[in-house]
Amino acid sequence: MRLRNIPGAEEKLQTYGSFVREPFKNYGKWQQFWGNKNPLHLELGTGKGQFITTLAKENPEINFIGVERAEEVLLTAVKKASQLELANMAFLWVDIKDISQIFAADEVDRLYINFCDPWPKKRHRKRRLTHASFLQEYSKLLKPGGEVHFKTDGEELFEFSLNEFSENGWQLKNICLDLAARGAEGNVTTEYEDKFRQRGMKIYRCEAVNLYK
């Protein structure tokens, strides 16, 4: 993705302190942060925030956190949450590789991974967010029975991901090879997904249940 340089994006993010939280401060204390025991859902790579802010608006009984390292796109997501006055929404400006330092064991109920970088070269596969090394980290912070919901437009990445989930002890369900053709009712889209649908591209989706515990 080619990012549009927004002058002063970092400084502008800091003005939204009620939404952009210090990532490492609440390790093991996210229920205290929210002041309730509602389920906690994360989106890894939240981009411009269409997906996660829509979910937060439609599900006030769930707490949502969007994780994003690119301040330019995160600023757009934060503005959306602010305009919608979402009390159950927060964002972390941080790299996903640091996630094990942000959430303790069993703190998270669900992870969303939408249209992540496919890293097509074989030598880069360990960087894929569905690689076994990442799955091991997710399994620690997810509660028993917690889920990863995954979407991609890449057939090869989807096949790779199904194998990684299966080979590492995750239970797969609701596998879809063409989400648009199935006409999934209630499906919440991302900005990328809307563009891909307009081009007639297939969207692949699955859910993986954490069975490590």
Q: 45-71, pLDDT tens digit by residue? A: 999 999 999 999 999 999 999 999 988
User: SS3 breakdown of the chain: % helix, strand, coil, rounded to 5?
Assistant: 40, 25, 40
Question: Residue 22 above 60 pLDDT?
Answer: yes
Question: Would you please indicate which residues are annotated as catalytic (active-site) residues?
Answer: 117
pLDDT over threshold 50, residue 141: yes
Condensed to tens digits (0 to 9), the pLDDT of residues 118-136 reads 999 999 999 999 999 999 9
Query: Which residues in 115-170 belong to E strands, given as ranges?
Result: 142-152
Which one has a higher pLDDT value, 213 or 16?
16
pTM of the predicted protein model = 0.92
Query: Between helices 155-167 and 132-141, what is the axis angle to 10°?
Result: 60
Residue 12 has pLDDT above 90, yes or no: no
